[in-house]
């Protein structure tokens, strides 16, 4: 029987690549995002796209109901929807901070709530949460984004234990630097919210560094994450977490080894100009 997967945030970048990799591997794939028109290429490859807003409960409920009605099952949920909006904690509006949590954490959690009863009834299913190395390390001007990814890590670890007795496996994928729209959004928001403040000089330095990293020499393509997601879904015994892309494993390992003061110094030196 063909396995059925739901991939969120599939209109570009990592989500688009995940959906493409899964359908090519024989999965029935539902790909969702707010902008359906951007998923025409996926539809041409056999993916089933439709609109879903992970900040709107009715949209999520309707989406899960549709898949169950059409397929009778959901074997995998890939929670990929998310974004990184940067800026000084002092100046990022609290409404924007809340929105990042709504998209990056609460949307993920609500979809998990909605698929869990169906997976539990069949006593099988996998939930793959796209976190980030940003769920292990930290940067100035990225506090709200990192807070959401630290939350995803903790939520996923708890869920892994909570859902295991019902045959539901929870896996975390932690991308490193990936060439995508994420980098552009992060650096533009960082500068925009810092202009005319005490943080402007730091923001402009960081934006230059972010732009330098956003190249094939220093970052991986989104397919690096898609390959790890496919591995997480098709391995008989998946790992709890998979770093993905250039430098991801090294960065995660360094964070395990280095004490906080040493990590602080490394990050300070990286952005010193």
- Is 190 within 8 Å of 203 (Cβ atoms)? yes
What angle in degrees, to the nearest 10, is found between the helix axes of 143-163 and 107-122? Answer: 10
- Distance in angstroms (rounded) separating the CA atoms of residues 75 and 73: 6
Active site residue 138: no
CB 76 within 8 Å of CB 5: yes
CA torsion angle 5 171 82 8 (round to 10): 0
pLDDT given at position 180: 86
In tens, the pLDDT along 155-176 reads 999 999 999 999 999 999 999 9
Helices 57-71 and 107-122, interaxial angle, to 10°? 30
pTM: 0.95
* Domain formed by 4-270, architecture: 3-Layer(aba) Sandwich (3.40)
Q: Which pLDDT band, with edges at 50, 70 and 90, does 144 fall under? A: very high
Per the structure block, which two tokens stand in for 74?
């959901």
Of 105, 118, 39, 40, the residue nearest 76 (C-alpha): 118
pLDDT at 153 over 80: yes
**pLDDT tens, 104-143?**
999 999 999 999 999 999 999 999 999 999 999 999 999 9
Catalytic residue, candidates 138, 145, 199, 242: 145
Residue in the structure block whose two tokens are 């991986």: 220
């Amino acid at each position: 029987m063909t396995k059925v997967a739901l991939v969120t945030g599939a209109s570009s970048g990592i989500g688009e690549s995940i959906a493409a990799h899964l359908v090519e591997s024989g999965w029935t794939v539902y790909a969702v995002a707010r902008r359906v028109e951007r998923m025409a290429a996926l539809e041409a490859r056999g993916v089933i796209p439709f609109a879903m807003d992970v900040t709107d409960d009715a949209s999520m409920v309707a989406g899960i109901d549709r898949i169950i009605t059409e397929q009778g099952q959901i074997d995998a949920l890939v929670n990929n929807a998310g974004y990184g909006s940067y800026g000084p904690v002092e100046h990022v509006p609290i409404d924007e901070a809340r929105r990042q949590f709504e998209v990056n954490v609460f949307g993920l959690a609500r979809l998990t709530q909605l698929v869990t009863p169906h997976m539990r009834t069949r006593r099988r299913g996998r939930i793959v949460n796209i976190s980030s190395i940003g769920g292990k390390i930290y940067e100035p001007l990225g506090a709200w984004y990192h807070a959401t990814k630290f939350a995803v890590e903790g939520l996923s670890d708890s869920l892994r234990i909570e859902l295991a007795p019902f045959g539901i496996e929870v896996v975390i994928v932690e991308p490193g630097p990936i060439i995508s729209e994420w980098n552009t959004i992060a650096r533009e928001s960082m500068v925009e919210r810092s202009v005319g403040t005490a943080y402007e000089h730091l923001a402009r330095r960081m934006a230059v560094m972010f732009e330098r990293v956003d190249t094939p020499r220093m970052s991986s393509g989104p397919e690096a994450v898609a390959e790890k997601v496919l591995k997480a879904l098709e391995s008989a015994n998946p790992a709890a977490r998979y770093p993905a892309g250039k430098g991801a494993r090294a960065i995660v390992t360094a964070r395990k080894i280095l004490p906080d003061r040493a990590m602080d110094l490394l990050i300070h030196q990286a952005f010193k100009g």
